A = this chain, B = another copy of it.
Amino acid sequence: MTWLDLPEDTDFGLDNLPYGVFSRGGEPARRVGVAVGEHVLDLSAAAEEAAAPFAQLLTSGVLNPLLAAGPATWHDVREQIREWLTAGRYADQVRPHLVPRTEITNHLPFEVADYVDFYSSEQHAINAGRIFRGADDELMPNWKHLPIGYHGRAGTVVVSGTPVVRPSGQRKPRAATDPSFGPSQLLDIEAEVGFVVGTPSTLGTPVPVEDFEKHVFGVCLVNDWSARDIQGWESQPLGPFLGKSFATSVAPWIVPLAALEHARVPQPAQDPRPLEYLRVTEPWGLDLALEIRLNGHLVSSPPFATQYWTAPQQLAHLTVNGASLRTGDLYASGTVTGPAKQQRGSLLELSWGGREPFTLGDGETRTFLEDGDEVSISATAPGPGGTRIGFGEVTGRVVPR
């Protein structure tokens, strides 16, 4: 099947081949790579040596030119990589471009154009409603009619491993008369799944649900760091701002949509039936199993397949007003939370608003993040023939300012 010595049970088999950007050792050059087994294939170098027709898309140190090239090219590049990694005649040519992943530094894989964050887990929205507004007011009246979302700060999307400086800001506990200023005391995470737009669209022309695969290149893990105290005080009436904009971390690997065919599952039933532009005929639920670790301890396992609104619906909604897409747009699912307690995608929910500290494996407890805490979110999905499609992980350590 391959001349490569692939570890059994790898997250990065030949059916995955996620894309990233890396540099080797102390070299400044940023290269486009594909994770395979415990290596990364230096795609920039391999394509140049092979004089591949797509080689010039891989020289800018970001994935954007490849993203912009569109689905036919994405298909061709993927097929070529698989051929290089399987046909024995390429082994001698390609082997020198395989770099152990322990020897690389990952960089932000693409230049983010606009960043949108949705709020599409029903259980998360219910939990947030219960925690903030009381159990009588579980879901906002609009929630089941449209995928609620907002724009975040594209300029502070950072790659996994970037330290997260605890943000300072204004917060006003309910009991206080006036706000005070200082480091956030309710620093949180949100485990999310992000969708990376490749093909742009035209201003004034909506993108229908069925064009999802023409525009979206791939999927990556996202940690939408959130300062709940800052967010709580600032959010009326225009939504979250500084409570979110200090950092959003993404995993180094973008899993191509093509790798997720076996992960597609029906989404949850939608009642009421959505308006026409949000109706889908193809299943685009995705069976991703997320895991959240805090200082190495597994604290939650959110199931992405429970999301109420799917990525094609989010894309159609995002553009239904005529807003255009640009190459590098990133939109995230919102916190992924399942129905069970150990499936909650934020510490807000795991600690129920800070009222119920939860335990790490070593007996320590947490409500929100402490300085020095490291959070790591990983995910896998089913691949063909019992294989596993890994998403790598998005990790960040909280540091004091």
- Residues of chain A whose beta carbon lies under 8 Å from any beta carbon of chain B: 113-114, 116, 119, 140, 142, 145-146, 148-156, 158, 162, 165, 167-170, 172, 178-181, 203-204, 206, 227, 230, 233-243, 245-247, 272, 275-277, 317-318, 320-326, 329, 401
Contacts and interface: CB of A to CB of B under 8 A. Distances in A.
Contacts of A113: 154-155
A142 B323 contact: no
A236 B168 CA distance: 25
Contacts of A234: 142, 146, 148
Q: Which 10 A-B pairs have the closest CB atoms?
A: A239-B239, A167-B321, A165-B204, A151-B151, A150-B238, A242-B321, A238-B239, A246-B321, A245-B323, A155-B326
A114 B155 CA distance: 7
A321 B275 contact: no
Nearest to A204: B165
Nearest to A203: B156
Contacts of A275: 170, 179-181
Contacts of A323: 153, 155-156, 242, 245-246
Per DSSP, chain A at the interface is loop
A152 B119 CA distance: 17
A234 to B, nearest CB: 6
25 contacts: A113-B154, A113-B155, A116-B241, A119-B238, A140-B236, A142-B179, A142-B236, A146-B170, A146-B234, A148-B234, A148-B237, A150-B151, A156-B324, A169-B321, A170-B275, A178-B272, A179-B275, A181-B276, A235-B237, A235-B239, A238-B239, A239-B240, A242-B320, A247-B322, A322-B401
Contacts of A325: 155
A79 B170 CA distance: 41
Contacts of A276: 181
A358 to B, nearest CB: 25
Contacts of A165: 203-204, 322
Contacts of A178: 145, 272
Nearest to A150: B238
A227 to B, nearest CB: 7
A180 B142 CA distance: 12
A142 B233 contact: yes
Contact of A169 (B156, B169, B238, B320): B320
Contacts of A153: 114, 151, 323
Nearest to A163: B204
B149 A238 contact: yes
Nearest to A201: B155
A230 B320 CA distance: 11
Nearest to A277: B181
Given A154-B154, A156-B203, A246-B321, 13 more contacts: A113-B154, A142-B172, A145-B170, A149-B241, A156-B324, A162-B203, A165-B203, A181-B275, A204-B401, A242-B317, A242-B323, A245-B318, A245-B323
